[in-house]
Structure 1
Amino acid sequence: MPNSAAPLVSVIMPVYNGARFLPAALESILNQSYRNLEVLVLDNGSTDGTRQIIESYARRDNRVKPLYEPRPLGYGGEAATNVATRHAKGELLAKLDADDLAHPDRLARQVAFLQANPDVFLVGSWLTLIDEHGKPTGARTYPVDHQAIYKEFYLRFPIANPAILYRNYFQQNDLYQIQFDHFNDYYSLFVQLNSGLKMHNLPEYLTFYRIHDSNTVFTKLREKWRSNLNIKETFIRDFGYKAPLSHRLKIKLISLVINTVPESFLIRIMNRARRVLNA
């Protein structure tokens, strides 16, 4: 039974043609040790069996709240997340993508952290990387405290967007500001951090990030890198961000690789470059 003293958590899960992995994602949320939650699953114009899966889970567990958009909203799920968030009743909001998994204690640990640290707006976690079968293939760590997160924002997105829990401050305004063709989560969380909202990452592997052949992150790589660079320059131009010289040099090196290597080889090269440069 939910603890009446525990804040309601609204888990936001946009999904587009996600029938393959959606059941596992939903199970990982519904089986959380933290029980006082609702799951807003927004079917973003799917044409596979996604809608039937959502409706099946909603019949079995009244914490699942189906939402529907007739056409894909695009922008990597951020626009769909904004729509779903407007229906959220929770004091706290959590993100999980429909192809990822949450550790059984993820919400419990993140809620406890925010309750113990009322000055912190958002808490993330480290990631365990998994393949299409759920087998661990690696890990991704992030800076932990607010200042370290801020320092790394030019080099990379130092928060795992599918792993965040944050306070529901955005009933009137959307968290994700749609300003670029890609990576509006990267831009938007920097805007919030720069405005004074504190962020933190738990140094624990509480979210499983799935790497598979349908990940949208592995398409239009050069186009997406241009968006990434435009966002970084916005940090400097519009917000006065001071990027460390070493971070600028790493980004120039990555850009050289991306603009030189045939795109068919970029995924392999980029993953190796990330490991070498810790980017």
Structure 2
Amino acid sequence: MLLDAKTAPLVAIVTPVYNGAEFLAETMESVQAQTYPNLVHIVLDNASTDATPEIIARFKAGRVPLVTARNPTLLSMDQNWNAALALIPGEAKYFRILCADDVIFPETTLRMVALAESDPAIAVVTTALLRNDQEEDFRWPRDRTVFDGVEALRRYFTIQGTIEARQALMRTRDLASAAPFFDLNVGHSSDIDAVLRLLAPGRLGFLHEPLGMVREHEGNASSAEMRPTHAHFNDWLITLRRHAPRAFDASAYAKLERRYWRFYLRRLLRWRFVHGNRRAWDLHMQLLAKQNNRPSLIDYADAALDLVFEKFGLRQGWYAYPA
């Protein structure tokens, strides 16, 4: 599909940033280098204390228009992301989050919008990408670029198709699907939670060529907050329970959920009693209690017995993310 300056719908690229001086310039340069003809770049500074404001100022005369704002006080990550969405112009048809340490390639927006425009039922377009310069296998069948939303959910939860929410183009009409758009109660998974919420009634568009790079480094949230405490294990439980029932029948979902629950409990025991990670144990106990889901001794015994059944090949163990 040919898109020129007169026919191309407006796309808002949204970059919430906090102390992003190390990589922000490269991120903003990648937006300025887009071949797509109708863009606006929204950058919300979350009360940064480094050189972030000066870096943002350098791009105010760029080819791609820049909309900027600064929070007077520090917000949580999800609060900042939701505040950034509020800056999207009303005439924009599409939007995406571009984190302040990630980059997109020159043809990224053009390719993603072209796919979205080919089918009005497509709610989310995402692509393969590089992670720290390394290409990954996203597992989607290469002979297709459009997937029914329920099929996409099923593939996602059985690791037959990976979705990187940081590389997701969505329609602004769907900003009203939830208030706030990024849920404040799903740990570090508010981005994928939003994507999965949009898929069940819609379709997924997936481009198999890597069209961006995400960074995993010591300064980002996944490294600084999630990894020491394995918080993503609880995030996955929330995501699984919230979205998987729309992709499986009751029996299949119950088996999937129970398989993960047993695996999760065994990991909890390992972190506490093998690795001595009391910080992780305490966090997960707090999270599970808050979710009215604190495990009992019977739950732990069941999880331990399940491992015996797995060893003898009598039950299938957990085989997917997180491992």
| TM-score bin, normalised by smaller chain | 0.7 to 0.9
CA separation of 1:225 and 1:9: change in aligned 2, threshold 3 A: same
The code of the aligned residue for 2:167 comes to A
Q: For 1:170 and 1:72, how far apart are their aligned partners in 2?
A: 27
Per the normalisation by structure 2, the TM-score is: 0.70
Determine which structure has greater relative contact order: mean sequence separation of CA pairs < 8 Å that are 6+ residues apart, divided by chain length: 1
Match of 1:127 in 2: 129
CA separation of 1:208 and 1:174: change in aligned 2, threshold 3 A: same
Unaligned runs of 5+ in 1: 131-135, 267-275
- The more displaced of 185-194 and 26-35 is 185-194
| Aligned pairs (5 A) from 1:97-246 | 97-130=99-132, 136-141=133-138, 143=140, 145-146=147-148, 147-155=150-158, 158-170=162-174, 173-194=179-200, 196-218=201-223, 219-220=225-226, 221-235=229-243, 242=249, 243=253, 245=255
Q: For 2:247 and 2:113, how far apart are their aligned partners in 1?
A: 33
Q: For 1:255 and 1:9, how far apart are their aligned partners in 2?
A: 43
Give the structure with higher Rg (CA).
2
Q: For 2:137 and 2:19, how far apart are their aligned partners in 1?
A: 26
CA separation of 1:203 and 1:236: change in aligned 2, threshold 3 A: closer
Q: Is the 8 A contact 2:12 2:88 kept in 1?
A: yes
Identity %: 22
**Alignment partner of 1:182: what SS?**
coil
Q: Is the 8 A contact 2:124 2:205 kept in 1?
A: yes
Match of 2:49 in 1: 47
RMSD over equivalenced CA pairs, Å: 3.1
Matched, 1:260 2:263: no
Aligned length: 260
Per the normalisation by structure 1, the TM-score is: 0.80
CA separation of 1:244 and 1:139: change in aligned 2, threshold 3 A: farther
Q: For 2:64 and 2:135, how far apart are their aligned partners in 1?
A: 35
Structure 1 or 2: more strand by fraction:
1
Unaligned runs of 5+ in 2: 281-317
Residue 82 (structure 1) shift: 1.9
Residue 108 (structure 1) shift: 0.6
Q: For 1:178 and 1:142, how far apart are their aligned partners in 2?
A: 30
CA separation of 1:80 and 1:170: change in aligned 2, threshold 3 A: farther
